[in-house]
Structure 1
Amino acid sequence: MENFKRLIQYLRPYRVRVGLSVLLMFVVTLSAIPMPLFQKQVLDVAIPNRDSALLWRIFFGVIGLSALRGVVSFTLNYLISWLGQRVVFDLRFQSYRHLQRLSLAYYDGRQPGKIMARLTGDIDVIQYALTQGFVYLITDLATLVIIIGWLFYIEWRLAVIALITLPLYVVNYKLLLGRIRPVSVELREKWEQMLAGLTEKIGAIAVVKAFAREGFEESEFIKAERERFVIGMTQTRLNRILGASSQLIRMLGTATLLWYGGGLVGMKEMTAGKLLAFYSYLAYLYDPAVRVVDFNVQLQWASAAIERVFETLDTRPEIIDAPDAAYLPTVKGAIHFDHVSFGYDPANPVLHDIDFKVNPGEIIAIVGPSGAGKSTLVNLLARFYDVSKGRIFVDGHDVRKVRLETMRRHIGLVSQETILFSVSLRENIRYGRKDASEADVVAAAKAADLHEFILSLPDGYDTKIGEDGIKLSGGQKQRMAIARALLANPRILILDDATSALDSHTESHIQAALAELMKGRTNFVIAHRLSTILNADRILVMQDGRIIDQGTHTELSARPGLYQDLYNEQFKTVQDLTDEEKARLLEAVS
């Protein structure tokens, strides 16, 4: 219930519309009362007395009341739908905004599909409950209160008989509620797992096909869907048992009322018209009661969805600005890792006592075997994670005491996995600097050796990437990433294996664009190909989360150690090198 209370808080800014909706609900409820009275008048007065004038008055009364009820119901449903849509709009926006602010650690342990399920499917369930469930629930509860009072006014003995069955509804509800809720939660979790699996497998469809695993994935999907089907049918069975037992209770009450009421009519203690009117009012008693019970289905779905959405909203970002965080309008690029240690799990550190300084404009290369901690080290500089021990300084400022936004605006990243969005080429290049002019975009594209290629496309810079647009090669994607970084004009640049996925010929062309990008910046270059870092000012050699050696290429290749082993392994035959690599190698070692 606490989460439902929090959900209702989203309605507070719209108190006027909520108040109007409540008023209209009571109008709809009250408008139901005259209809059975019209039936009573026809049967007890108009027909025995052959009163045609009364029949006409009843005729126009029914039409007028129906028209009023229709207009009010339309307005009410429109208002409720607006409120539901607005609450969902606010909830989805706040959820998305919160997801943008959560630290990378939140995403490390979660599949994208599960996150999407909460942002889309769960909130859709909440929307349905608000727009389709609560309007009937509130209206039905108001109807029950008013109709019960009116039934006692008409004939208290029949009202007692009618109400005897209502406690059975409550008992019936309570007995089955404890079984329905956990099934609903489990079914929702299975749905989330299905969406997460689909997102993952469709995103990796090339791998599935490459290993001829289509049949395996089909069988796994069928297995998961079969489990979901069984749970879904369990929920359906319980809900239908609840509905059927509620209907049975209703029929028992109706039969008892007609039997006893018929006896009262036979004894002349009430008229047939009053009995008919009372019977008609039963629909306004039992139907709302049945719907209140059936609302449990939506309530359980919505309760599970609300709980999961608020679980996300209640997750606190690990990386946040300090209260006194400084604003950095400019950065020179001096970096100091001051005895830094870090572990994604604090009990298992992956970096140990990292200590080095970088002068503005230096090119620092980082090499080592996979798992040595190279990418983790630069991720700490961008403050995707916070250090466990030690400090990182940028121009003398501890990065934990600098506003995140201003810090990251001075850092550019070009990685092996180039991420582009399904928008135009222009929008992708401009992503890091939305206020860039057209001339700036073109200049960045030219520097990345992309301009001529873009002009050769039918829509030029307006050409879209993705489902409805072009598909870029690996080299073209890297050039796009370089153009994006150039336009953002960061003072600190991180190249994380930016060319490792490219062939040697493509890499040689990309290197020219990278050289342009690296000018005048502090650069961190992570590379497995040593040919890409021969001209670095300093090379850090990492192993098992530690810097075990550092120096220039000439110094490191001349003394025994890990770097020399890597160097000998990669350059044991000159035939393996391109002409450009040979030239750079000869220049570096001469």
Structure 2
Amino acid sequence: MFLPSDGEAVKGARLKRESLRRVKVFAAPYKWEIIWFLLAICVSALLALAPPLLFRAILDTAIPNEDRSLITTLAVVVVFAAIGDAGLAIVQRWLSSRIGEGLIYDLRVALFDKVQQMPVAFFTRTQTGALTSRLNNDVVGAQNAVTSTLGSVVSNVVVLVTTLAAMIALEWKLTLLSLVVLPVFVAPAKRVGLRLGLIAREQMDLNAQMNTQMNERFNVSGAIVVKLFGRRDREVSVFSKRAAGVRDTGIKAALYGRVFFVALGLVGAMGAAAIYGVGAHLVVSGGISAGTLVAMAAFVQRIYQPLTGL
């Protein structure tokens, strides 16, 4: 019943067609919620392009022409764009919650019903704690695969495509410059992502083992067996090792996650420095405007996370 924690056991694993069909079956009742969820992601990504372009217009058009009314109008539009983006974020959260909690409910009921149909021999071979862990923890993981992963992939693709298109339209040379630092980061990011996936599977394995021990010992028959054979110290020792494993994997997951985001921030800072350094020379030489430089610096911060996320 346990998932393999060995890296080689999961390395290169792919979803089977049967698994994909099951995903479609469970996601079908939430078709329209998923469509609206993805649409909100797309609109939000497009709306986020507005502020840098509006700031560019303020710097390059409104200020040189001393057009106060245009400055006010553009500033108000930026505010409304931010409000609209915030509203879409709330809508996305609401829709993802409806989809996610609905999937958890459907999966748990289906799994409980399936277990009830199993023969008695199944229960003699299967550890109760492992079953409980699957019902409580792994179902949430399956729900995350549909809501969090799907939303993240779509958001990353839309943000990447729209932002790169805007950057190329503004200044293709600076766009290429901003992508130079990526190869240094992509390979380590993939390794960290793979490691985080293995740690997550190991955590599920260890949690299932802990749940098994608790379910077997926290009942009358289990307590009697422990007391009759005087195995309390051994039981505490075994549980302590499993709990320590959960603790250690949690620490490793937190550390790897922090390293990843620190590296992402470092890459973003390097990209922004390159844009400002080279872009400033272009502004001085008349190659681009100051507003274009500011817009490019804002856009470059948006492309690294979706690139590494994909």
Counterpart residue number, 1:123: 139
Within the candidate set 197, 214, 229, 1:181 is matched to 197
Q: Secondary structure in 2 aligned to 1:270?
A: coil
Q: How many residues align?
A: 292
Q: Quick check: 1:197 aligned with 2:209? A: no
Task: Give the one of 234, 237, 241 matched to 2:252.
Answer: 234
Match among 15, 23, 28 for residue 2 of structure 1:
15
Structure-to-structure mapping, 1:61-80, within 5 angstroms: 61-80=77-96
1:433-452 correspondence to structure 2 within 5 Å: none
1:211 Cα shift?
5.9
In 1, the alpha carbon distance for the partners of 2:44 and 2:20 equals: 26
Q: What is the aligned counterpart of 2:238 among 217, 220, 224? A: 220
Any idea what the Cα deviations from partners look like across 1:360-397, whole Å, max 9, x if unmatched? Answer: xxxxxxxxxxxxxxxxxxxxxxxxxxxxxxxxxxxxxx
Q: CA deviation at 1:26?
A: 1.3
Shift of 1:61: 0.9
Q: Percent identity?
A: 25
The aligned residue for residue 152 of structure 1 is 168
2:129–2:208 contact (8 Å) kept in structure 1:
yes
1:179-209 superposed Cα distances (whole Å, 9 cap, x missing partner):
4433332222111101111111112335445
Counterpart secondary structure, 1:80:
helix
SS at the partner of 2:199?
Answer: helix
Written as runs of structure 1 = structure 2, the 5 A alignment for 1:189-338 is 189-203=205-219, 204-209=222-227, 213-289=231-307, 292=309
Aligned to 2:3: none
Shift, 1:256, TM fit: 1.9
Q: Note the C-alpha offset of 1:215.
A: 4.2
Alpha-carbon distance between aligned partners in 1 of 2:15 and 2:273, rounded to the nearest angstrom: 40
Query: Within 1, Cα distance between the matches of 2:106 and 2:189?
Result: 33
Is the 1:152–1:159 contact (alpha carbons within 8 Å) kept by the matching residues of 2?
yes
Structure 1 residue 252: deviation in Å? 2.6
Post-superposition Cα deviations, 1:327-360, rounded to whole Å, max 9, x if no partner, equal xxxxxxxxxxxxxxxxxxxxxxxxxxxxxxxxxx
The one of 121, 138, 147 aligned to 2:154: 138
For 2:160 and 2:148, locate their aligned partners in 1 and report how far apart those are by CA, in whole Å. Answer: 19
Q: How far off its partner does 1:29 sit?
A: 0.8
What is the distance in 2 between the residues matched to 1:7 and 1:75?
A: 27
Query: Separation in 1 of the partners of 2:87 and 2:258?
Result: 34
Shift in alpha-carbon separation, 1:84–1:249, aligned structure 2, 3 A? same
- What secondary structure is seen at the aligned counterpart in 2 of 1:11? helix
Distance change in 2, residues 1:7/1:45 (3 Å): farther
RMSD: 2.5
Deviation of the 1:132 alpha carbon: 4.0
Where do residues 11-22 of structure 1 align in structure 2 (5 Å cutoff)?
Answer: 11-22=27-38
Structure 1 segments (4+ residues) deviating >6 Å:
none
Distance 1:68 1:216 in 2: 59
Summarize the alignment of residues 518-529 of structure 1 with structure 2, pairs less than 5 Å apart: none
Shift of 1:59: 2.8
Look up the equivalent residue of 2:116 and give its one-letter code. Q
**Greater C-alpha Rg:** 1
Q: Is residue 172–residue 246 contact of structure 1 (8 Å, CA) maintained in 2?
A: no
Residue 119 of structure 1, CA deviation: 0.8
TM-score by length of 2: 0.83
Could you say which structure has the greater relative contact order, defined with CA pairs below 8 angstroms and 6 or more residues apart? Answer: 2
Q: How far did 1:40 drift?
A: 1.3
Q: Is the 8 A contact 1:194 1:224 kept in 2?
A: yes
Q: 1:178 to 1:53 in 2, by over 3 A?
A: closer
2:92 and 2:192 map into 1 onto residues whose CA distance is 32
AA in 2 matched with 1:54: L
Q: For 1:131 and 1:84, locate their aligned partners in 2 and report how far apart those are by CA, in whole Å.
A: 6
**Equivalent position amino acid for 1:137 in 2:** V
Q: Which has the higher helix share?
A: 2
SS across alignment from 2:48: coil
1:129-183 residue CA offsets vs partner (Å, 9 max, x unmatched): 5444432332122111111111101100011112233444432233334444333
Could you tell me which residue of structure 1 aligns to residue 72 of structure 2?
56
Per-residue deviation, residues 514-572 of structure 1 (Å, max 9, x unmatched):
xxxxxxxxxxxxxxxxxxxxxxxxxxxxxxxxxxxxxxxxxxxxxxxxxxxxxxxxxxx
Q: Report which of the two has the higher share of strand.
A: 1
Q: Which residue of the other structure, out of 34, 59, 65, is the alignment partner of 1:43?
A: 59
Q: C-alpha distance in 2, partners of 1:7/1:260? A: 52
Unaligned residue ranges in structure 1 (runs of 5+)? 294-590
Which sections of structure 2, spanning at least 5 residues, go unmatched? Answer: 1-13
Output the CA distance in 2 between the equivalents of 1:7 and 1:242. 33
